[in-house]
Structure 1
Amino acid sequence: MIQRRECGFTLIEVLIALLVLAIGLLGMASLTMTSLQSNQGAYLRGQASLLAYDYVERMRGNSAQALLTASPYVINLAPGSARTNPDCRTKTAGCTATELANQDIFDWWGNLQAAIPGSSATVTKANTNEYQIVISWTESDAQQHSTGTQAQNFTLRVNL
């Protein structure tokens, strides 16, 4: 009779199994990172949408100023722009419609910078009641697997 001796796995087989496992774990980590960055991008787009509609509702609440030819609601704000607070909340005599428009813009700009830091906003008026709101920001470029950034825009066109 011939006796066969079984020794089990060799060291090379174990190392190959560890290599395959390591490659799989790196792939999962990369997939998780891409997923997190995509979720962050979707969150920022959602915030931009909510804030654009918030701006429209502020204009509708003060439509006398919004429908003016030289409307105070037409703005072009870059990151780091500072707005003056008209402080309508503490005035006992109240605010004029123009001061209320400036208060709306001041509050909205603060909300935008809190939700999407480093963003910019441009509001243009096409005619009497047509507005275009563009909110721009940059986010990391997860889809390209690079460390660069990519400019993003959210545009809302609305008739008051």
Structure 2
Amino acid sequence: MSCCLMGDSPLHESPIGRAKAQANYAVSVESGMGMLEYLLALLVFSTGMMGLMSAQLVAKKVVHEASQRSTATALGRDIVEHMRTNSGQLEAYRALAIGDTTQLLPLPNANCDISTCTALQLAAFDLWQWESNLLGLSGQRNGASSGGLVSPRACISTDDGEVAVTISWLVSSVVHQPTPLTCGADDIGSEATPNGSNDDTLQRRQLMISTYIGRR
């Protein structure tokens, strides 16, 4: 009578071996699910961080543009007050393209902060000092100018007591505004650096202050 011996065939697995195989499979599935959850969490976190960084960049740009406009407003009011103090020489304050680094105003003959000046000398000194403030030359930090406006252009016109101070400066913005008619409209092409899209195209912002100054 022949006898059949049970070998290691998979058809005759022992209960213990089957339990071990099932346990190993369960551990493998759990490990795979844990890795997938980790990758999904990493993707969500990375997307959130990219959105946060983008929002911070936009906020910094908005704050910088607001700061530039505030600076331009303060500088415009400053020169108007100087003109009001020296109202007898309003015509001497007429100027175009103030702030153009290729043709800066000449150094005045007298420093009216420390010496007595005539009304005409005071006008020349006020304009020279104002241009320095526009460019931020009055404040130096690590050898570079601090403050002032980005590539400013300013014009001052007077007509029988009617005074108009126009200031323009460069910004990087997606918000379009009409091209300035004066003070920087001609040279914007040489300073703007469009990148093929409208996202980071340099353009000019413009501020105008109009007032009346009576002669004394």
TM-score, normalised to structure 1's length?
Answer: 0.84
- Of residues 13-22 and 56-65 in structure 1, the stretch that sits farther from structure 2 once superposed is 13-22
SS in 2 for 1:155: strand
Matches within 5 A, 1:43-82: 43-66=67-90, 71-78=91-98, 79-80=100-101, 81-82=103-104
Aligned length: 152
Give me the whole-angstrom Cα distance separating, in 2, the residues matched to 1:28 and 1:146.
19
Q: Give unmatched runs, 5+ long, in structure 1.
A: none
Deviations 1:44-101 (A, max 9, x none): 00000000000001101101001xxxx01111125213111223227x9843211110
Across the aligned residues of Structure 1 and Structure 2, the Cα RMSD in angstroms comes to 2.6
Q: Is 2:207 the partner of 1:154? A: yes
Return the alpha-carbon distance in structure 1 between the equivalents of residues 110 and 76 of structure 2: 22
In the alignment, does 2:43 pair up with 1:19?
yes
Q: TM-score, normalised by structure 2?
A: 0.63
**Partners in 1 of 2:40 and 2:115 — Cα distance?**
79
2:122 is aligned, of 88, 91, 100, to 100
Label 1:56 to 1:93 Cα distance change in 2 as closer, same or farther (>3 A): closer
1:119 aligns with 2:119: no
Contact 1:137 1:153 in 2 (8 A): yes
CA contact (8 A) 1:38 1:142 kept: no
Which of 162, 165, 173 does residue 130 from structure 1 map onto?
162
* CA deviation after TM superposition for structure 1 residue 142, in Å: 6.2
Q: 1:10 aligns with which of 18, 30, 34?
A: 34
Report the structure number with the largest CA radius of gyration.
2
Task: Give the aligned partner of residue 31 of structure 1.
Answer: 55
Q: Is the 8 A contact 2:111 2:125 kept in 1?
A: no
| Structure 1 residue 13, shift from structure 2 partner | 2.2
Distance 1:26 1:130, change over 3 A: same
- 1:134·1:156 contact (CA, 8 Å) conserved in 2? yes
CA contact (8 A) 1:135 1:154 kept: yes
For structure 2, which runs of at least 5 residues remain unmatched after alignment? 1-22, 137-147, 176-196
Structure 1 pair 24–93 and aligned structure 2 pair: CA distance change class (3 A): closer
